[in-house]
């Protein structure tokens, strides 16, 4: 399927200043990057830009900081970025223009107006460049100043290579997928993903819910989840799904692993149940760990799930920052057909077949002869 928006390959970059929106939202523990997959995924576009353009400016968000928090400074990723690019990268705390060939600006979420898509901030970003390049697939579902606003104000807004590849691969899955289509959704971002679940239900044959995401559903069914992570506001949505016509598509955990009063992982019976559905599937979508997999004590459900998917003959697509990290721990990267850098974005793209950050890109002109 041909893409209907411009990509970085369609335009002349000579003498141009580029501003690339990256997804450098990598997992960081005590200032150290624990998984650099998202940075590595950004390299092809950056290298192409460095080879042809006059200047390359990079922006991204990192984590969910409350104002300026050193822990979430993008300065933390400079050493890894320099090593991967084999060149020095100038780091700028403010949004000033510089003459450096490659500049990494501070965490976009340190700037007021990023999340509210403030026009002033969007304009300031647009002023930094001749061409805006959107390559942050993982952030394209959010209409922020550095994803949508800047695209609307820059003279030209095109897709980077990563974004174009992601869209291409996901279009392939969505375009008449082989059935049964089984989606497995877990993780912690309940409120940002639960709405998507409702519409995913229309598309999939089975929806397996695990991780923190399952807790809200279990609570809606009257299970006492004690002090486990869940979202009270989302109880009505979960209840509606479980009492609606598509409840039979939903597969919830059968047993759980607890740490005191908190659910930390899915149990053995839940794993067997997942294995059975995965074996039966022809297409599998996976986003979100089944438990707190960062702790080896509670990683079993997630690692087992990754292995079942890797061993199945179905076409498998997985995405999400933490999901990618879990796939690395399970060492099954090579047995999953496509690994998307997006988590929430990945689910939302499946749902809507586009994203705000993609809609804002410059369209290809259709010539009528």
Q: Does 356 participate in binding ligand ADP (rule CB under 6 A)?
A: no
- State the binding partner of 103 from ligand ADP, Mg ion, none, CB within 5 to 8 A by kind: none
Instruction: Pick the closer one to ligand ADP by CB: 278 or 326.
Output: 326
When binding is defined by CB under 6 A, the residue of 343, 357, 360, 361 that contacts ligand ADP is 343
Helix (H) or strand (E) holding 29, with range, is strand 28-29
Q: Is 38 a catalytic residue?
A: yes
Phi, psi of 259 (to 5 degrees): -120, 100
309-328 binders of ligand ADP (CB under 6 A): 320-323
Conformation bin of residue 15: beta by default, left when phi > 0, alpha when psi is -120 to 50: left
CB-wise, 281 or 306, nearer to Mg ion? 306
For residue 182, give the H/E element and its range: strand 181-185
Strands 102-105 and 181-185: unpaired
Residue pair 52/10 in contact (Cβ under 8 Å)? The answer is no
Catalytic site residue from 138, 149, 187, 321: 321
Site for ligand ADP contains 294 (CB under 6 A) = yes
User: Cβ of residue 344: shortest distance to ligand ADP, in angstroms?
Assistant: 6
Shortest spacing between CB 337 and ligand ADP, in angstroms? 17
Looking at beta carbons only, is 177 or 186 nearer to ligand ADP?
A: 186
| Site pattern 307..336 for Mg ion (x: CB under 5 A) | --------------xx--------------
Among 95, 229, 242, 254, binds ligand ADP (CB under 6 A): 229
Is 189 annotated as catalytic?
yes
Q: For this structure, is 206 an active site residue?
A: no
Number of residues lying near ligand ADP (CB under 6 A): 20
Integer Cα distance of 77 and 88 in angstroms:
12
Structure token pair of residue 132: 């805006």
Shortest distance, position 306 Cβ to ligand ADP, whole Å: 12
Report what 267 binds from Mg ion, ligand ADP, none; CB cut-off 5-8 Å by kind: none
What token pair was written down for 143?
A: 């209409």
Residues 259-288 that bind ligand ADP (CB under 6 A): 263-264, 287-288
* Residue 289 near ligand ADP by CB under 6 A: yes
Closer CB to Mg ion, 177 or 288, in the complex: 288
Nearest 10 degrees: Cα torsion 14, 38, 310, 211: -140
> Which position among 149, 160, 177, 211 is part of the footprint of ligand ADP (CB under 6 A)?
211
Q: 18 is written with which tokens?
A: 């580029």
φ/ψ of 241, rounded to 5, equals -65, -45
Buried b (16+ CB within 10 A) or exposed e, 57-82: bbbbbbeeeeeeeeebbbebbeebbe
The smaller minimum CB distance to ligand ADP, of residues 149 and 289, is found at: 289
Q: Is 305 in the site for ligand ADP (CB under 6 A)?
A: no
Helices (H), the chain: 37-52, 78-85, 119-127, 150-153, 161-174, 190-203, 211-220, 235-242, 268-280, 300-311, 321-330, 344-352, 356-359
Binding mask 103-142 for ligand ADP (x = CB under 6 A): ----------------------------------------
> In the 8-state DSSP scheme, what is residue 365?
P
Residue 22 three-state SS: coil
Residue 321 is among the residues annotated as catalytic for this protein: yes
Question: Is the omega angle on the peptide bond into residue 170 within 30 degrees of 0, that is, cis?
Answer: no
Contacting residues toward Mg ion, per CB under 5 A: 321-322
Residues acting as catalytic residues: 38, 189, 321, 344
Contacting residues toward ligand ADP, per CB under 6 A: 186-189, 211-212, 229, 263-264, 287-289, 291-292, 294, 320-323, 343
């Amino acid at each position: 399927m041909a893409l209907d928006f411009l990509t970085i390959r369609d335009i002349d970059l000579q003498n141009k200043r580029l501003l690339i929106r990256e997804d450098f939202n990598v997992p960081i523990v005590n200032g150290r990057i624990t998984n650099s997959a998202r940075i590595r995924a950004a390299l092809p576009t950056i290298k192409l830009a460095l080879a042809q353009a006059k200047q390359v400016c990079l922006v991204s968000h990192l984590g969910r900081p409350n104002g300026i928090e050193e822990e979430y400074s993008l300065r933390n990723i400079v050493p890894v970025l320099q090593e991967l690019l084999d060149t020095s990268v100038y780091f700028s705390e403010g949004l000033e223009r510089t003459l450096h060939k490659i500049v990494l600006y501070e965490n976009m979420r340190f700037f007021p107006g990023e999340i509210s898509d403030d026009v002033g901030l969007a304009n300031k970003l647009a002023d930094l460049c001749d061409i805006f390049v959107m390559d942050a697939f993982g952030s394209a579902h959010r209409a922020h100043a550095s994803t949508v606003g800047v695209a609307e104000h820059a003279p030209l807004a095109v897709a980077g290579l990563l974004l174009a590849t992601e869209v291409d691969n996901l279009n392939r899955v969505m375009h008449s997928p082989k059935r049964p289509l089984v989606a497995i959704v877990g993780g912690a971002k309940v409120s940002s993903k639960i709405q998507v679940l409702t519409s995913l239900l229309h598309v999939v044959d089975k929806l397996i819910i695990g991780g923190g995401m399952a807790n809200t559903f279990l609570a809606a069914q009257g299970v006492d989840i004690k002090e486990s992570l869940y979202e009270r506001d989302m109880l009505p949505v979960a209840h509606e799904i479980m009492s609606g016509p598509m409840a039979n598509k939903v597969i919830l955990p059968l047993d759980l692993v607890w740490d005191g009063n908190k659910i930390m992982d899915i149990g053995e019976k839940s794993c067997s149940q997942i294995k059975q559905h995965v074996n039966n599937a022809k297409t599998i979508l996976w986003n979100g760990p089944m438990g707190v997999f960062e702790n080896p004590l509670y990683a079993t459900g997630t690692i087992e799930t990754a292995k079942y998917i890797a061993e199945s003959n179905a076409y498998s697509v997985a995405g999400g920052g933490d999901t990618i990290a879990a796939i690395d721990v399970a060492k099954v990267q090579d047995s999953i057909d496509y690994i998307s850098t997006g988590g929430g974005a990945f689910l939302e793209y499946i749902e809507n077949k586009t994203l705000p950050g993609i809609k804002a890109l410059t369209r290809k002109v259709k010539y009528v002869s």
